[in-house]
Amino acid sequence: MQNVGLSWNEFNSIRQSFAGTEGITTIEQMNAAAVVAMMSDISTRSIISVQEVERLFGGHPAFYKWKYSENELEDRQTDQLKRLGGLISTGANPRTDFQDDSESQYTCAQVDDFMVSSEADKMHDGNIDDAYQNSVEKMFVQANTKEAVYNKLVRSGKSKKEAAEIAYAEHKTQKDFEEFRDKYLDENDKARVTKKYQAEYKAYAEKGINVADGSAFITDKMCEKLLRSLGLYKNKAK
């Protein structure tokens, strides 16, 4: 195996520190101990970093939106990560001291949420192609099934490589896939797969896509002022 991710100087320094340690007598044991030490250090620092950022800057995770599916927590990080962008803003303020600035008020257009499903996509004379929608659902089913098989094989003791070769093998027909699924998953496994894929596929079957999210409308004058305040206005329209 070849090291491609760890600093050699740091690794070598840590490795040498294990020389003479009780129970570590070979180069292989020193190498293994050094790798574990570096991984432990990285993991610990990562946990500390998350705690510091949330406590000092981002705020408690409970302040953000958490997504639940049938009383089970499905996602708690999306909304939090979305809001953290403000913490890494440049902090640069646009210029506001223009002497010829006669306008201090602007018209604001607010767009209500407009929730749709993928069925709203206009294909083939106004209707979504059934084959397209079915193929999307099929991809969710197969992806979650293969993931469940892979995890089950790993838990049973197979190596990750061997489990991946079995779980992610190509199936040329639907019958082949169903036989593969029935071979490795019992009814409880299938029920969990169904629940998971249906939650992920919900946006394609229900109105879960907000096509108006983040929409904004401004006048040409407002656009000009914004560009001027940022020093980007060139008196040319494209």
Residues 215 and 136: their CA atoms lie apart, in Å, by 27
- Is the pLDDT confidence value at 171 over 60? yes
Where is pLDDT greater, at 123 or 12?
12
Residues 181 and 193: their CA atoms lie apart, in Å, by 11
Helix then strand count (H, E) for the chain reads 8, 4
The domains of the chain are located at 8-58, 130-208
- In terms of Cα–Cα distance, which of 195, 233, 191 is closest to 94? 233
Distance of CA 42 to the CA centre of its chain: 21
Least confident of 101-110, 122-131, 160-169, 226-235: 122-131
Least confident of 64-73, 170-179, 199-208: 199-208
- Is the pLDDT confidence value at 131 over 50? no
Which helix (H) or strand (E) segment holds residue 205: the answer is helix 187-205
The per-residue pLDDT of the chain, averaged, comes to 80
Q: Which of 78-82, 105-109, 190-194 has the highest mean pLDDT?
A: 190-194
- In terms of Cα–Cα distance, which of 10, 6, 27, 9 is closest to 18? 27
What's the whole-model pTM score? 0.44
Residues 148 and 19: their CA atoms lie apart, in Å, by 43
- Is the pLDDT confidence value at 3 over 60? yes
- Sign (positive/negative) of CA torsion 16, 19, 23, 25? positive
Residue 84 burial class via C-beta count within 10 angstroms: exposed 0-12, middle 13-18, buried 19 and up = middle
Q: What is the pLDDT of residues 216-238, one digit of tens each?
A: 788 888 888 888 888 888 876 55
pLDDT, average across residues 79-101: 75
pLDDT, average across residues 112-129: 56
CA triplet 126, 132, 134: central angle to 5 degrees? 120
Residues 37 and 123: their CA atoms lie apart, in Å, by 56
Residues 64 and 58: their CA atoms lie apart, in Å, by 10
Q: What is the pLDDT of residues 10-60, one digit of tens each?
A: 888 998 898 888 888 898 999 899 989 999 999 999 999 989 988 888 888
Cα–Cα distances in Å, from 103 out to 63, 85, 221? 38, 31, 9
Largest distance between two CA atoms of the chain:
80
pLDDT band at 165 (very low <50, low <70, confident <90, very high): very high
Where is pLDDT greater, at 74 or 129?
74
pLDDT band at 149 (very low <50, low <70, confident <90, very high): very high
pLDDT band at 126 (very low <50, low <70, confident <90, very high): very low
- Is the pLDDT confidence value at 186 over 50? yes
End-to-end CA distance of the chain: 54
- Is the pLDDT confidence value at 130 over 60? no
Distance of CA 208 to the CA centre of its chain: 18
